[in-house]
Chains A and B, each alone.
Chain A
Amino acid sequence: MNSDLTCSTLHGYFDRELSAARSAEFKRHLEHCSDCVAELDACHFVRDSLQRSHIYEHAPALLRQRIRADLRTFALTTTSSQLLWWHWLAAVAALLFVAILLGRVGHELHNGDYQAELAGEIVDAHVRSLQPGPLTGIASNDARVVKGWLDEKGTFAVPVHDFANEGFTLKGGRLDVMEGRSVAVLVYERSGHPINVFLWRTREPDTSARTGSRQGFQWVDWRKGKIEFCAVSDADLVDLEKLHQLISSSA
């Protein structure tokens, strides 16, 4: 099992943050993985050490007194001279709230039921992949090699194709974790721009492509054959839509 994936799952399991199904799945994995058993022991050791040594630092009494004194002074100044300041602050807060609300509504209208939070996670994962270090868990432009590697990691049957003839060169694949679940990632390159295509299993019906942008990156999301796809890049949105068509027509 890929070490990054195991790590996140292992810590999720240790912290009881996994769903019952994923927890049971990881428990089965533990039966034949001595590395994970050892790491789990290490987690228990760290937790026990921290809890047994009583290193939690409680606030000193003097600090509590200082805070209470501040609170009294603050309440006094607020009711007299800073009344106008409060009004001003309240007006700014109200404006900000309306602006955020409008932004949200606009976003939702654009993206249908697509979860804004998930889009954020995917863009974050894309940005992470651009950091120094390998972009891929398996670097190969041979679709069979990449597919073999992903299959070996125990993911679902990921459809892997190289579209070098159409200008999208397959660079490899990797596994990532999003919202606590494992996702497969295919890496393509289009005129020097890396494109990450995130794939995970879904029970939802097929959809056509939905597009959006976030932090300067474009994404195209669609579902086909019980798999959700999300392609992210700083490449042109037209290119992402082209890749979407290529993947959809060959799946």
Chain B
Amino acid sequence: MSLVPPELLASLDLPAILDGLPMGVAVLDREGRVLTVNSALERLTGFTREQARGVPCRHVVRSGLCMRRCPAQWPADTEIVNRQRRMIPVRISAIPVRDASGLELFRLDLVEDLSAVRDLERRLEEPGGIGGLVGKSPAMERILKLLPAMAQSGVPVMVVGETGTGKDAVAEALHKLSPRAREPFVRVDCGPMPPESLEAELFGRTQPSGDIVPGAFARAGAGTVYLSDVGELPDALQARLVAFLDEGTVLAAGARVPVRSQARLVASSPAFPEDMVRAGRLRRDLADRLGDPRLALPPLRERPEDIEFLLAHFLAIYSAKFRKDVTGFTPKARLLLLAHDYPGNVRELRNVVEYAVMVCAKPDIAPACLPAHLLAQLAAPTGSD
């Protein structure tokens, strides 16, 4: 095997070569101390190369293997904890660098970030397969089937549902499942806000210096702009949205030249577009452009078969969150929870379970652990019988 001439090796700009690699690289001496790291590993671990230099690599890479079987049989999938306290799934491979006699001089540890792969796997395995949305009723199963198809399209989508039915979660799921998932998801609440502020928030504004403060459409880039409660938008801004949907451009407040925007629009409302048009809260031309396709989220009282499933779902989440060994409900508490009509929908049910797990000191949640207002509501009809 012909060796690379030493003068050629000496002339190489090794740091620049390492910085050009997409995965993290740590160059280690024979004792496993860091000689240098490339910029990808700096970003992954949060340690600069100056901080890492001379430090045993286990204190920089901090993988799940460092304290178990290092040097490991490589490559291996594990996880690291970076300086920002994030646990990141990674694949680590090691390459020994030897001289002509076979003596190991250095070791290169390659660290690949597997976050995107794991994220995709998790999304595919989630109940219902999508975001935080769960439900076993036919209505929810239909929505969970529709979502991936709608996500693939770039057309605007209207999400309709009462408060607490999960409109925000659906909008986010539409973004995460779409080809735009790597781009920003920008949410704008169209609720009470001065029209000038809302205009700047949506479309940006021109500063006295001439610089433009970016609005939601500029911040989203090729991602998604989600307008919550779109019927609350003033008429003039609704007209600007129509212009965006027709021409694909937005005009910042105080600017003269419109700018192209590739963002996708998702809007939500508690009422159907036709009803809002009749009530004079939504322009017909905007309703025509936003109204289809639409996702109508059923209130919880129309899908009671989901209540038990959701109770178990949130119980598992909050037991883990509060580190409590709460595993179920007493029969009486279960009956009370199933009898409630949940005007606040899934959000209310979630809050009830969160509170109950928080105050419960036994393995099963008893009626005494349920919020007092819920018990009072449930007791009222019984008392009048």
Whether both chains belong to one complex is answered with no
Question: Which B residues lie at the A interface, using CB under 8 A?
Answer: none
